[in-house]
C-alpha cells in the first residue's frame, strides 16, 4: 500500500486545486489572495465591470504579477518572442599562476633603485 501526500488549496469550503508539493500549493494560495485583493480593488473603481469580468481580470493580473510589476513601476514592457537557442557558455580561461621568485638569486630580477648623487 502506497502513501501519497497531496496538498489541496481550499477557498470558502471549495477545493480549488491539488498539488504534489507544499511550495506549489502555497504559491497558488498566494496568487488567489492577490486575486481576491485585486477583485476588491476593481470593485471600488469607477469602471463598470460585472462580477465575471472583475474575477477574470483579477485572476489574470494575479497570474501575471511578475510581468506586471515592471509596468506598474513605469518600465515599458518588452515584447517576448520565442527564445533563440542559447549558445553554449564559454568557459573562462584558467588563470595563470603567479610566477614564483627565482630559486637562484643570481638570476632573480632585482628592482632598479635610483642612486642618489651627491
- pTM for this entry: 0.58
- pLDDT digit string, tens, across residues 68-102: 999 989 988 776 545 555 555 555 555 555 555 55
From 26, 27, 51, select the one nearest 40 (Cα to Cα).
Answer: 51
Q: Which residues contact 7 (CB under 8 A, 6 or more apart)?
A: 18, 19, 20, 21, 22, 24, 25
- pLDDT digit string, tens, across residues 17-35: 999 999 999 999 999 999 9
Q: Domain coordinates of the chain in residue numbers?
A: 21-71
Amino acid at each position: 500500500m502506497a502513501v501519497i501526500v497531496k496538498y489541496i488549496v481550499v477557498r470558502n469550503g471549495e477545493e480549488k486545486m491539488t498539488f504534489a508539493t507544499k511550495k506549489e500549493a502555497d504559491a497558488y494560495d498566494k496568487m488567489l489572495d492577490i486575486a481576491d485583493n485585486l477583485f476588491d480593488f476593481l470593485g471600488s473603481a469607477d469602471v463598470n465591470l460585472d462580477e465575471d469580468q472583475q474575477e477574470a481580470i483579477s485572476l489574470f493580473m494575479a497570474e501575471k504579477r511578475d510581468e506586471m510589476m515592471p509596468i506598474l513601476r513605469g518600465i515599458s514592457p518588452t515584447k517576448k518572442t520565442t527564445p533563440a537557442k542559447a549558445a553554449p557558455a564559454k568557459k573562462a580561461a584558467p588563470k595563470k599562476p603567479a610566477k614564483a621568485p627565482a630559486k637562484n638569486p643570481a638570476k632573480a630580477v632585482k628592482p632598479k633603485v635610483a642612486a642618489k648623487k651627491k
